[in-house]
Structure 1
Amino acid sequence: MSKGPWKTSQFFAINIVAARSLSFSVAKFIDVVWDVIGGRGFAVVMAVLSFKVFRQYLTVSMRSHPATYQVFRAIYLESEPSIVSTYRLVKDCTTGRRRVVPATGLVFMVATLVFVLIFPTLSGSMTGYINVSRGFVQASGGDMVPFESLDFVAYVIHDGWRVNLTGNYIISLSVEGGHEYMQKIGDSSSWILPLLGGASMQVGCRGEKSRSLNCQLKNSTSHYAWQYGFYGLHNETSVWPTDHGNVTLAAPSLNISAFYLDDVSSSIGDGYGHEWVDPRTGQRPFSDEGRIGWTAANQTFTMEDIVANSTCQPVQNQYQWGLSLIQLLIAIILQGIWIIGLCVMSYTSNKHDPLEGGQPEVLRGWRALLTLAEAMNMELACSGIEPHVLKDDELQRQIDRHIGGGQVYSKSGGNDVVERRGFPNAGRAE
């Protein structure tokens, strides 16, 4: 019944629940806030950090590898990536006459721009809100019993009338939340059910529970079984303990059986029976987890009953908000690669000092615009291109055809291009 979280069918499944039992308005509000802050907001932060490092890297690279006008414009004059700027960067770097930046730097820059572009979509895709579903199991009379009302079965006194109880009287462990082991069947995280391996029953009747009749009976039954065993095999008189005194019972002892009982270190009051050995078989029947059982509405349910007769039904106006495990891991891995690459690129850039030559800061804004304008005016004039009489697309074709996309060098590089370590030399355009 459980589904593995790594199957392709679980790619969009919300299997990490972060908030439960929400109204539609609250769930929608959380989802919108996540999309704005976690998606678009974080993409802006990534863009700012990435362009800062890219400008440092390109400043150093341009001392030996001139940047084309389009590449310079995409990195220095824009503050966040776009489809057009990314396309220009790829086009000029792969089809131009010269290699603008080292290949590894180019690949990482393009990959980062694409990642920043798709991150808001990836962030929105990995989260969502779904209707809360609760598990129910069908009782013998046809009624649907919710999982949260199930309690672990401890003992069954088959001849309960001997101690003023009904026959086949069911005694539960009175464990708050004892239904959680099976509640996972109705949860979107049902794939973790096999990992539980059983439910801890090492909870005694404490606090307010200790005043309940069921807890008194459980303690009495546990103590009685510890003294006389199970199945009425003790063929002598026995004493049934109560809070109002002991009751002597004629032989044989009470016919008591049990479901699965956890190992509670032979605690008499907390559910004795895990270590009990049946003298007829030499086995410990109540230590078998396959005997685990639940009770509700004076009826017992085994694991087979739960699997065969359980169903999930949505709860009206209750939602849960969460994330997809697969997509979350993909996002974390991609962000890890981005952080490592950015650190390596920043280290490489700072090793060669991007501000060499007395520049007050790495080019950006108006200073970058002036640098591009100076380079274009000088190169276009030398090439005989008249930009003022050409349309924009005609000017772009002239630049591509006659000067190979243009070239902008870092002013800190001086007039002579010097090969610098970490940035392979490339011939300058004539």
Structure 2
Amino acid sequence: MARPTPLSGFPEWLPADRIVERHIIDTLASTFELHGYAEINTRAVETIEQLSRKGEIDKEVYAVNRLHAEPGEERNPLGLHFDLTVPFARYVVENAGKLVFPFKRYQIQPVWRGERPQDGRFREFIQADIDVVGDGELPAFFEVEVPLILAEVFGKLRDIGVPPMTIQVNNRKLLEGFSLGVGIDDVSGVLRALDKLDKIGPDAVGQLLADECGANDEQVRLCLALAQIEGDDASVVDDVRALGVTHPLLDEGLEALAGLMTAASERAPGAIRAQLKIARGLDYYTGTVYETVVSGHEDLGSVCSGGRYDNLASSGTKTYPGVGISLGVTRLMSRLVGRGLVSAGRRVPTVVLVTVADEDSRADADRIAGQLRARGISAEVSPNSSKFGKQIRYADRRGIPYVWFGSSDGDQVKDIRSGDQTDADANAWTPPSEDLRPAISAT
């Protein structure tokens, strides 16, 4: 058989790396549930019409069709979902009569995106989303709650060696109101230009504002001055006011940003930072927007982003405004694993390897392993009855910390890391709590 050719953009982790990923996912899920978010899953496919409702995504969607259609069978244009927000909006509309609003959900699933694979970017990857959706209206304080929950997650991940992460925030109303206030009607053009600031620099952005939005020198100066404003508290609002631009929509955006930054500076100091150059490219955002960078790894780009959307979920007669944020689990994992920043203490979840003296005693070994498992201790039986030295070496290669020896005279368990061996009863013995699961730590 020919050696298979790997497919770029479709990561497959080794078992030890998957243990790290599983820990991150479990941390996300448990934290979301602490705040009252219920888990849902949505189907992998949506209609192309649904996927293309908001934003230009034709180049990103993988189309799905049967390889061999039956004669006369109509081909339903389906595509794999490229994020979890669009499917969630459809889910809310379809199930609105069965949901209690505000509806708080979390979702951790693979998504697929047809883009060129590169560092931190994949064609198949896991996203973890939380969203809150209201029926007709949604209080602004949820725009504060959502990023603070992610900040709590990041604090927990610090405990296993994940570098600090900062959530950068802005408000689309602020940007739109400022653009209109300086006299630029092409608001979308301003947002597109500012969104490229980190990639192409202020001079190039200024040229875009002039060429594509018709901005004069003073308008360019003001827009670039706005984009340079940042801070950890509500004082950024005063910095914007000092530019002398006024507009009712700008006032709304500043009020929302002030509320968020005041709460963040009190409840999660340093975790959330206002960055007024952030615009977020997707068309459906209407209020607060979020992006997240990993300290020391800014080249990775945003690993967690989202924002407020008021018009994405609509049944025609009803609108369901929402706010959400999404963490790219696979993007974060690629840096943690690729740079060796975090690792699992062992390759497998197994705590104990039960030895087999000879094949006639395998049933006894299976019984011991079953007793340990019944008490929540991961155990496996040696695959062969070779000399105990070889069985111990097998456990060592697998990263299993304990080896069990059964005997009619009484069982014993050995910690192969220290060499300590003690009498043990499978109905009573328990390893130290730190050995029950593979430890995750900074490398």
TM range (shorter): under 0.3
Structure with the bigger percentage of strand: 2
Q: Which has the higher contact order (CA 8 A, sep 6+)?
A: 1
Q: TM-score, normalization: structure 1?
A: 0.21
